[in-house]
Structure 1
């Protein structure tokens, strides 16, 4: 029964809670994010376990009036069966947590393929889960792990025994996965790229804007799918905000991710460093001006300077490209209507933010002519997500939803 499954998921959350610091250290070691972010990521798995426990007692379909005398229409929700979960390097624990905790209380088995570069944390988490399952006299293999590269992912996408495939990664690979799954009329849940914008109007509280933009653009060294990559500033405040933001960037403490003073660690791979340099060069060629950063830092590891680029047009090719690195393109605007359109003109539709005190504008932003993203923020940055809401985006972000609200329905099938 679902509440019994919820009790097992509660125990999984407790087991992770007991090892949260050592798991956070392992995330930091393998991925490169700072220690507090590593711990925070494991905490997110713990939190979604707590959420799933309550959800396990609330899953249900309506009983509807039937036109046939003496009959009722009932919507019965059943498990899909086997859920394949392919996660990315940048959130090697949290994304699996969102999927597995909900999938388990829905009654599914899980097969996880983590990123090849974060295998240790995948193994550690799987062993913790398996022990809890076995302590409850159910097979540890209910949550299985496979380590490997793209060949494993391809096999999972093509395998008809995979009732749902949840994929988190780039739009390019996600498209290939979607086509393979669709070819066999399978079911997929896609969480792909984001080219997220923060829009700052002239009436915004700049004391809120500066730390928000800094955190959204620089946090996790720009390697979140919700990282702010575009910052639209009203022309009347553009120069002031750029000056303040550059000053704030200069105070970011860069160093060893395990050091408690560090706010900003390295990029994940050498390839990421090359992508960063290529993007900075393209930005310059397309008319951009680097007002802060733009270079590799001379120290061991994949460290680059957090970077601010100004002077580009809103539709410059590099501005429309998601580079998984800490580069923020700062762009000027005049009118609300044009900047809402610019927010929406990129291929992805994950996260978006505005900073304003105008209530009418806020409701226009949330409405049908506002942001076309899956996550629409007001006076908070683009990064981060609350587990109680459905997480995901539109267009080339894939349309999938994970975590809260009614996302559980994706892990079940409906019988009427």
Structure 2
């Protein structure tokens, strides 16, 4: 077992510990301890108190944005490959502290060890990706309709990037945004979840150490401003923040989008996901069952890509249902610091209450609990003070009102279908559009699902679960998920501004479209 005390020194948190209080802001590398009333920090594992967080004040948030704006003016002129070298060094620093950082993630989120280490690996992977990207920020050369003219398209640094991240991935989502933003020549102000402030402090400490030893890095390029929704609102409203990338609930995203749009700024939104999987008659049921259980129960159902809805063809429904019930019976729920644990706690009591309310409503709407759903009491490998539940599998008569809602907990609704077209329509019938999957060995079924009339989600997988995306592909979804894309592919373009240049290398001045003037 490990505790926060074991992790303070190797992660650099000890430099900011003041009588068991932690700063709400780290502006220009200096910790700020405002007089704002503190909030207690407790682990979801056992309710253990780690200290108190002093939220950033309005002054600190504005100072963070101001310092980042000044830093951007210098950093944008540093050659992109040199910016990539900085991110490469950050990746090396993360590698050296991978285990300790993962352990802190487990303490703050309740993730099991392998999932926490996987999240840190995402940060490492995106550093490698961004380093290579630093030499591939390509524009275009475009033919002109005018003789001795050419058009160029260039991508330039955008400005200050505001990142608002959620508790369930306390470093990965920030890294997707921040590492690409830095390579693209921007500065970053980070507002993490108030539920995972120490992980944010540790990540910031690590990055600041690297920046300190990097000659070309201006002071103030990476800032941290912690607190509740007030801090996020300040970033969204600040005209000096060129892009706000926000990950979290649909309600939060709407609030951010309205504020940013009011000043004609840019927002990148990755919001809720009510994700579905379809199992066809030709599916490999063993493979499907393994993928379904991880997607539905992993991270205690607290991923935006967690599986919520399962549509199974009537010919294989009974057989798959038996496999799932058996698998759920063997899911070990308990202390995520123990190697044998597969499902840790929910993040807090509110999450527990939401799950229980959803279960009651599902039963009222005709659902039947096949297994799970109950709270696991303390004892054995289950610590007291946490909120532990058995992942629940429910048989539903149809896609009722509660099934249309995302419950951030290990709650999976199983429904039967007859025609594939109907199953795809059910997949698309909800307001969210993040992740989806089909399990089939029929090429035609797979093609229909990923084609233009198939899944309307940003992620549409074949024989792979809804969760566990790789960093090389753009991540995000449609409809109420927000439409944003983070991480791989051409997501880097979100963090840059595009300029089209017309060059005339001749002596004449022909006008476009054949216009004559004079």
- Give the CA deviation at 1:140: 4.9
Are 2:333 and 2:389, in contact at CA under 8 Å, matched by a contact in 1? Answer: no
Question: Which residue of 2 is the match for residue 175 of structure 1?
Answer: 254
The CA deviation string for residues 139-193 of structure 1, in whole angstroms up to 9 with x for no partner, is 4521111111011011111110010000000011111110111011000000000
Q: How many residues align?
A: 415
- Name the TM-score, length of structure 1 as normaliser: 0.99
Matched, 1:141 2:240: no
Matched, 1:232 2:316: no
Question: Which residue of 1 is the match for residue 69 of structure 2?
Answer: none
What's the secondary structure of 2:388's corresponding residue? coil
Question: Which residue of 1 is the match for residue 424 of structure 2?
Answer: 340
CA distance in 2, matches of 1:68, 1:237: 64
Matched, 1:393 2:477: yes
CA distance in 1, matches of 2:473, 2:311: 26
Q: How does 1:217-366 map to 2 (within 5 A)?
A: 217-299=296-378, 300=384, 301-314=386-399, 316-366=400-450
Q: How does 1:192-211 map to 2 (within 5 A)?
A: 192-211=271-290
Q: How does 1:6-85 map to 2 (within 5 A)?
A: 6-85=84-163
CA distance in 2, matches of 1:93, 1:36: 15
- Give the CA deviation at 1:35: 1.2
- Give the CA deviation at 1:364: 1.2
Alpha-carbon RMSD across the aligned residues, in angstroms, is 0.8
CA distance in 2, matches of 1:67, 1:224: 50
- Give the CA deviation at 1:345: 0.4
- Give the CA deviation at 1:68: 2.5
Matched, 1:119 2:197: yes
CA distance in 2, matches of 1:281, 1:297: 17
Are 1:61 and 1:76, in contact at CA under 8 Å, matched by a contact in 2? Answer: yes
Structure 1 runs of 4+ with >6 Å offset:
none
What's the secondary structure of 1:116's corresponding residue? coil
Question: Which residue of 1 is the match for residue 56 of structure 2?
Answer: none
The CA deviation string for residues 267-319 of structure 1, in whole angstroms up to 9 with x for no partner, is 001100000100000011000000101211112211011000003312x0110
- Which is higher, the Rg of structure 1 or of structure 2? 2
- Name the TM-score, length of structure 2 as normaliser: 0.79
Name stretches of at least 5 consecutive residues in structure 1 with no aligned partner.
none
What's the secondary structure of 1:117's corresponding residue? coil
Are 1:83 and 1:162, in contact at CA under 8 Å, matched by a contact in 2? Answer: yes
Are 1:204 and 1:355, in contact at CA under 8 Å, matched by a contact in 2? Answer: yes
CA distance in 1, matches of 2:131, 2:341: 35
- Give the CA deviation at 1:67: 2.1
Question: Which residue of 1 is the match for residue 70 of structure 2?
Answer: none
Change (3 A) 1:329 1:362: same
Name stretches of at least 5 consecutive residues in structure 2 with no aligned partner.
1-78, 379-383, 501-518
What's the secondary structure of 1:165's corresponding residue? strand
Of 499, 506, 511, the match for 1:415: 499
